[in-house]
Amino acid sequence: APNLKHLLVDEMPARRDNPIMKVKREWQEFASQAKPSRASPCIDTLTFINGDPHHPYERILLNISTMVDLSRLRSLDVAVNSEPAMLSKAASILGQLERLYVHMVPWNKQRVTDWYNNPEGSTWDDEEMISAVQAFRPLRFLCLRGLRNISSLSRILSSHHSLEGLSLEGSDRHPRTPPDGFKYPIFNSEHIRSIAKLCPRLEELRMPLQRSQGNAQECEIYKALGQLSRIQTVYLDLDCDPRSSPQEDEIPSPSCLREVLINSAIDESLVTEIFKLVFFHQQTRKIKNLRVNLVGADGFSRELEHVIRQLARSFLVTRNDFYLNTDELVEVKEIGGVAWQLWR
Q: What would the 3-class secondary structure string for the chain be?
A: CCCCCEEEECCCCCCCCCHHHHHHHHHHHHHHHCCCCCCCCECCEEEECCCCCCCCHHHHHHHHCCCCECCCCCEEEECCCCCHHHHHHHHCCCCCCCEEEEECCCCCCCHHHHHHHCHHHCCCCCHHHHHHHHCCCCCCEEEEECCCCHHHHHHHHCCCCCCCEEEEECCCCCCCCCCCCCCCCCCCHHHHHHHHHHCCCCCEEEEEEECCCCCHHHHHHHHHHHHCCCCCEEEEEEECCCCCCCCCCCCCCHHHHHHHHHHHCECHHHHHHHHHHHHCCCCCCCCCEEEEEEECHHHCCHHHHHHHHHHECEEEEEECCCCCCCCCCEEEEEECHHHHHHHC
pLDDT score, position 45: 94
Q: Are residues 208 and 239 in contact, defined by beta-carbon separation less than 8 angstroms?
A: yes
Q: Is the pTM of this model over 0.85?
A: yes
Greater pLDDT, 124 or 278: 278
Give the model confidence (pLDDT) of 65-86 as tens digits.
888 889 899 999 998 888 899 9
Q: Is 14 exposed, middle or buried (0-12, 13-18, 19+ CB in 10 A)?
A: exposed
Mean pLDDT, residues 181-188: 85
Mean pLDDT of the chain: 84
Give the model confidence (pLDDT) of 228-243 as tens digits.
999 999 999 999 998 8
pLDDT score, position 260: 93
Greater pLDDT, 120 or 144: 144
Give the model confidence (pLDDT) of 28-66 as tens digits.
676 666 665 556 778 899 999 876 767 788 888 988 888
Mean pLDDT, residues 309-334: 84
Rounded to 10 degrees, the C-alpha dihedral 13/17/21/27 comes to -110
pLDDT score, position 292: 97
Q: What percent of the chain has pLDDT over 70?
A: 78
Q: What percent of the chain has pLDDT over 90?
A: 53
Greater pLDDT, 9 or 39: 9
